[in-house]
Structure formats: structure tokens, C-alpha cells
Structure 1
């Protein structure tokens, strides 16, 4: 209900309402984008998402469905970015290696164990196929329901469940290869 009210206030031209929406949803959007891309690209894509939100907010048909709409925009922005990246890689004379940013551990003295585990999880996530990674990020990191994931990805709920199952298995296998056990 709060998001719906903020959307309606934004449509009425209240700048503070837009600022509140951004404050409430910037971290979840960035987390989703970061789960799909490396940190260097996540900032740019997250900004693109907010520009698209600003442009599209007047056309949002169901203000109560703001979260799935927002993540649909984020998903499209990530897909567009990946598509452009793949297109550039295909047209380049030689494939560019090492485009992924190195681990984010440099110059960090007091690394909290939880942050290390999260970084390792993100590294494992980056090794998953995009469709499975996307479902894991939406479902677990963004706490979207199966139905909302289906809406964001424009696929049936059953497909979300099967991708989620496959993603869990692949992630478990990757983590087991790295010596993590349950």
C-alpha cells in the first residue's frame, strides 16, 4: 500500500515521493542487478533502471504492482546490457578476456565473515546460467514470490519452480566443488 501511495504521489508531481521510492527500492534494485552483473557495471545499469522508472511511472497501470514492474524494468536493463556486451564481443576482432572485475577484496582490512561468504556466493552465482541466476536472485535475494518472479520473467510459475530447482542444484554443486558442505 505504501508503494502504491508513493506512485500516486509521484504522478501528482511530488518530488519527495519519488525520492522516497528511490530510497526504499534502490538497494533491492542494485542487489538484483549486482547479482546479474559485476559491481562495476551494476552501478550504471541501476541508474538506467531508475531513468526508465522515471519515464515509465506515468504509464504504470497498476500502482499496487510497483515491485514486479520495477524488477521487470531491471531485468530488461540487465538483458539489454548483456545483449550489447555480447554483440560487442562478437564484432570485435579478438575476444576480450578478463572483462570481469577482480574480486572485491582489495584494501579491505576488516573483512567480516558474512561479507566473505556473500562474495563467495556472488562468485558462485556468476558461474550459473543467466536464467537460473536470475531466478535465484529474484526469489532469494529480492524475496519475490514465485508468482512475481513469473511475472518479472514473463514465464509460467511452473517454469520458475523448475528453474529454481535446477539453480539450487547447480549452485550446490558449485559450492561443493569449492569445498563447502552443508
Structure 2
């Protein structure tokens, strides 16, 4: 009961803008949230950490909309569960696409020498980058794929965001590339 009251008090203080309350809230609830997320057995340690960070960012941003401070813990656990499911669904969808791309039907895909395939794929990636709307995602992708000198952590430091934000942007972009390549495979067209 004391732990529940402590969390409720920390939520109230955080809602009032007391910055130390956010740290206390994170420290007191993280073990429970980490156990829940780690229970999604196929997530690796980096994915678990990303899900934790995403969950707390969402919860802390949404804190002003929380009607009852005592509802914070179940609400946070729901956010974490949903983030973990989304991560697994996204990863499973990407794996299915990769498998589809790795084993296309021979009659639908003209045989190309591997050097031409790589050149074509690079052209598709550059075209997709050029088509991105101006903004943080495009800047992140350009730094990582076009300039290619910085790690995700270094890009995060340069842009003043968390590493998980950079990796999320890069994952989103890789998903676009895979969808575009898959559409071209299925359409049987190579431009």
C-alpha cells in the first residue's frame, strides 16, 4: 500500500511540474514495467530498452490528461504492453517482407546481375530519401545513409534527441524502403 501511495504522490508532484518527481516515478515503476516488457520473450535487450523509453515518454507527455493519479501504474503498464506489441508486430511484418524479398517467385522477377541489383536498390533508397518531406526524419536518414560517417548515437547527440528516436526514425525509413522494393518485386517492374 505504501508503494502505491508513493507512486500516487509522485504522479501528483510530476503533474504539478516538479522535475524530481519524474525521476522518482521512473525509478519506482521501472522494475515492474521492465518485467512486463521483458516478458515479451522475443524482444532483445535493446528492444526492451527502446520500448521502456518510448513508454515513459508517452506516459510523461500524457500525464496532464490522466484524470486520477492512482490510475498511473495500470495506465503505464498498458502503454508499455501496447508499445511491446507494436514493436513485435512491426518486427514480424518486416521479417515477412524480408523473407518475401529474399525468395521472390522466379517467374515474376527478371534475373539481374547482383551489381545491377545493388545499383538499382541504391537508386531507390536515394529516391525515397529525396522524396521525404523536409524535417527531422529526413535529416536523420541523410546523416545515416547519405553521409554515412556517424553512428545512431552520434546522430542523436548532433540532433539533440535520444538514440531511440534516431533508431525509430531509421526503422521507419527501412520499412518504407522494404515496402517500395516489395511493391516493385510484386509489380515485376524495375526502373
TM-score (norm 2): 0.47
Higher helix share: 2
- Structure showing greater Rg: 2
TM-score (norm 1): 0.49
